[in-house]
Amino acid sequence: MARSALKFDDATYAALLAAARDADAAHPHNNPAFLDAFLADAWQAAHRIYGAQTYLRFVAQAGVTRRPSAGTVQKAIVRARAIYEVPAVPTFGSSLSVGQSIWAQKLEQNLARAMTLLDATPDARNPAGNGATDAADAIRRVQHLERENLELRARLAQMTVAAAYAREALGETLTVFAPQAMQHAGSQGRQGV
């Protein structure tokens, strides 16, 4: 049985369209940040989390030219649900057990991963199967991931060096001040302080 179409009052509809435009203006080159901002404003307007297709429809209706993939939108929805929605309490008033909570988190992660994989299939965006566009898109994605990987490796190297310097500085500080502190504590103990 088909679900009925979502209905919005004029104020909520206008707020949702404005949220999409504002998020696009605030984050022109970062889809995850754009979606997080859009979903936060959408939550403020409607107090509900909708599905990926609903948000993609609002983005298009708002005149926003970017088109994030359904998988990217689904990941943002998972993040938004973790922030804004109260988890459902099972029947009989008992709370979720740790195993159930972990299972629910894994289910959401696997759903987001599946949406991403489905979006990555060649027929997902271009049903006509334009091979040149698919290859160019794949190359662009790989290059983006390689840049991201390189940036993360550089940040890791910087953090590793900073941690080594911090460890060395802490060792020197303890070596210099620990004996003095022990002497100071010992002399105060003899004075009856």
The verdict on residue 75 lying in a domain is yes
Domain limits at 39?
9-88+96-120
Higher pLDDT, 96 or 161: 161
Same domain, 59 and 109: yes
pLDDT at residue 91 tops 60: no
Structure confidence at residue 173 as a pLDDT band (50, 70, 90): confident
Whole-number pLDDT of residue 188 = 65
Same domain, 52 and 16: yes
Same domain, 22 and 72: yes
Contacts of 125 (CB under 8 A, 6+ apart): 69, 119, 137
* Total-model pTM: 0.46
The verdict on residue 172 lying in a domain is yes
Please give the average per-residue pLDDT across 17-37, as a whole number.
93
Q: Give the Cα separation of 143 and 149 in Å (integer).
A: 10
Q: Give the Cα separation of 140 and 137 in Å (integer).
A: 5
Structure confidence at residue 15 as a pLDDT band (50, 70, 90): very high
Same domain, 173 and 146: yes
Same domain, 109 and 136: no
pLDDT at residue 20 tops 80: yes
The verdict on residue 4 lying in a domain is no
Domain count, the chain: 2
